[in-house]
Structure 1
Amino acid sequence: MTTTENITTGTVDVGDVRLSYRERGTGAPVLLMHAGGFGEWFSPVFHEPALDGVRLVEIQRAGYGGSSTPEGHVTFADHARHARTLLREIGIDRATWVGHSSSASMALQGAIDAPEAVERLVLLEPAPSPAGPSAEELVRTAVGPAVGAAQAGDIRGATETFMAGVCGPHWADLVRERLGGDALDRLFHDSRFFLTDEVVAAMEWPIDETIAVRVTAPTTLVYGDSPATKAHEETTTALAAWIPGAELVALPGVGHAMTLEDPAAVARLVAAAM
């Protein structure tokens, strides 16, 4: 464990993998779980002053960044269990879970599996399950071709296809602007696990109204009002109708890459939800 400028970094053995994390601050615990494809989606949000009043924990999930890559398949429930174990190992029994895209779905699964560990959910554009009418087009033009390219060994081409379909044509410029010129190399590294394992887990994940109504944590569901695809908005809206008492929020001026597009707005939204 290392502490620098009030930021503590470390790794935790959660059983089948070791997870890398960093944290800062004191107060109510908040967990940031990054979206698929890149372990640094929440990096700019982590530093936002709107979250200075909480104990903020940002993890890199199995297969990403400084965390180890598992030997076998990892389900959404497994990812949620990893996060829950890490929190417990650093002394946190209950936290607000903030998930983005596939990790929003993982956080939702975590709240179903272990409601005692989840104080509140803030879910930023969960992965498209349940699928709305736009999901079919997204699969045809982006997800399907990306998975095919990954199976053929072209991880870079697969990543570019997927990211353009989900985040729009300027996604690479946004990543470089927010995270530095070498960030794309790190993203392409992380995308291998996403495209070869996590996409499968997303397709396997079971969610319907009978499952969603079991969520007892107060839930805020968020979508961007300027997306490259409407698929995530459709899913977010459907989940908001299923989860008891859920709040639905449209974040202006952003799409699926909202944590990089406007990290200050995302941080303010999380703080307000608490």
Structure 2
Amino acid sequence: MNHYSMEDIMDTVTVNGIRLAYESRGTGEPVLLISPVLCDGFVPLLAEPALAERYRLIRYHKRGWGGSTHTPGPVAVADHVADAVALLDHLGIDRVHAAGHSSGAAVAAQMAQDHPDRVATVSLLELSLLSVPAGEAFFAQAAPAFEAYAAGDAERAIGLFLSLVSGMDPEHCRTLLDERLPGGFALAVKDADTFFGIELPALAEWRFGPEHAAAIRQPVLSLLGSETRQLWVEVAEFLRSTVPDVEECVVDSVGHLLHIQRSRPVAKAMARFLARHPMAC
């Protein structure tokens, strides 16, 4: 099988009136992996021994993505949190290590605030927070992608957006994704309406200021690529100055797609963090 996102390798459950596709692998303390536009983006981590041999890894497609129910907007970050908690309830999991990438990291951060009793630690892989000063410039840089989407060219729109966030030229970015996530780019194109029409507006409306960051009492890992864009550099600075218990790790030679570009050092950094903060017995 060479297509990571085929629904026949994922289970499904109905929660909050929608179907969620999910996959659970391994044993040990549970780690919930929450993805953004590349809904199978955490698949490379599932094969990394540092995590796979020690933890129960749970990934899922958020509502609107992949094999999960596509609902009309608006779908707020808080709605994704409610779905994630309902999935944990279905799996009989009381507490989890929450990990998210980009807009998925927003869900993890909000979940830590809304359900502190359910979240043991939070791993934020380049949290996308558009209220930092670089957020406005980032949207301006993304204008060609928005224009392509408005013109009905979803494939070009997704390609331009992923090229922007990754810092790679479109061909290089597409080659990386075809190698590391076969079928992942095509699935992102299929879900372009969710991304441009629902996810980005919800992320723009999400409020996560200093008071919200200070309310996160769990240990937090901030993972950053050494070659990432200014937006995520500023977000890391924000987390460093506002979150009470934050650790930072910079992964060399990667940008925003850090866990896809170099899954091994990302997995090892997460595993070291989780080992320092085990769940209480």
TM-score normalized with structure 2 length = 0.89
2:222–2:249 contact (8 Å) kept in structure 1: yes
What per-residue deviation string (whole Å, max 9, x for no partner) do you get for residues 153-212 of structure 1?
A: 2212211221111112121111011123x4332221123311111000011001111121
User: How far apart, in 1, do the equivalents of 2:249 and 2:40 lie?
Assistant: 23
1:109-120 correspondence to structure 2 within 5 Å: 109-120=110-121
Distance 2:114 2:225 in 1: 28
Q: Which residue of 1 aligns with 2:159?
A: 160
Q: Provide the C-alpha distance between the structure 1 equivalents of 2:216 and 2:223, rounded to a whole number of angstroms.
A: 17
Q: RMSD of the TM alignment (CA)? A: 1.5
Q: Deviations over 1:111-151 (max 9, x none)?
A: 1111111000000001133313x333321121x33234323
2:132 corresponds to:
131
What residue is the counterpart of 2:192 in the other structure?
191
What secondary structure does 2:132 align onto? coil
Distance 2:151 2:198 in 1: 14
Counterparts of 1:101 and 1:84 in 2: how far apart (Å)? 19
Q: Cα offset for 1:272? A: 0.8
Do 1:38 and 1:191's aligned partners in 2 also have CA atoms closer than 8 Å? no
What amino acid does structure 2 have at the position aligned with 1:171?
C
Partner Cα distance (1:31, 1:149) in 2: 33
AA aligned opposite 2:47: H
Secondary structure class of the residue paired with 2:21 = strand
Cross-structure match for 1:103: 104
Give yes or no for the alignment of 1:176 onto 2:217: no
Structure 1 window deviating more from structure 2 (115-124 vs 161-170): it is 161-170
What's 1:240 paired with? Answer: 240
Q: Paired residue for 1:78?
A: 79
Deviation of residue 76 (structure 1)? Answer: 0.7
What are the residue-to-residue correspondences of 1:13-28 with 2, within 5 Å? 13-28=14-29
Aligned residue for 1:197, secondary structure, equals: helix
1:220, distance to aligned residue in structure 2 (A):
0.8
* 8 Å Cα contact 1:38-1:190 kept in structure 2: no
Alpha carbons 2:127, 2:232 under 8 Å: kept: yes
Task: State the alpha-carbon separation in 2 of the partners of residues 266 and 17 from structure 1.
Answer: 32
Letter in 2 for 1:177: E
Query: Which stretch of the first structure deviates more once superposed, 213-222 or 153-162?
Result: 153-162
1:220-269: CA deviation from partner (whole Å, max 9, x where unpaired): 11110012x22112112212211112112211111101111011111111
Contact persistence 1:130–1:238 (CA under 8 A): no
Q: State the alpha-carbon separation in 1 of the partners of residues 191 and 47 from structure 2.
A: 22
Aligned residue for 1:46?
A: 46
Aligned residue for 2:100, secondary structure, equals strand
In structure 2, distance between residues paired with 1:148 and 1:75: 24
The answer to whether the Cα contact below 8 Å between 1:46 and 1:58 also exists between their aligned partners in 2 is no
Aligned residues of 2:249 and 2:269 also touching (Cα < 8 A): no
- Report the CA distance between 1:152 and its aligned residue: 3.4
For residues 17 and 97 of structure 2, the distance between their equivalents in structure 1, rounded to whole angstroms, comes to: 24
Runs of at least 4 residues off by over 4 Å: none
The offset of 1:49, in angstroms, is 1.0
Deviation at 1:104, TM superposition (A): 0.6
Distance in 1 of aligned mates of 2:189 and 2:149: 11
Tell me the distance in 2 between the aligned counterparts of 1:184 and 1:210: 36
The corresponding residue for 1:258 is 258
8 Å Cα contact 1:129-1:207 kept in structure 2 = no
- Tell me which residue corresponds to 2:5: none
Q: Partners of 1:204 and 1:245 in 2: how far apart?
A: 26
Is the CA contact 2:44–2:259 (under 8 Å) kept in the aligned structure 1?
A: yes
Map of 1:268 onto structure 2: 268
- Per-residue Cα deviation, 1:22-70 (whole angstroms, up to 9, x for no partner): 11111111011112x2211111111211111111111111111111111
Unmatched tracts of structure 2, length 5 or more: 1-8, 275-281
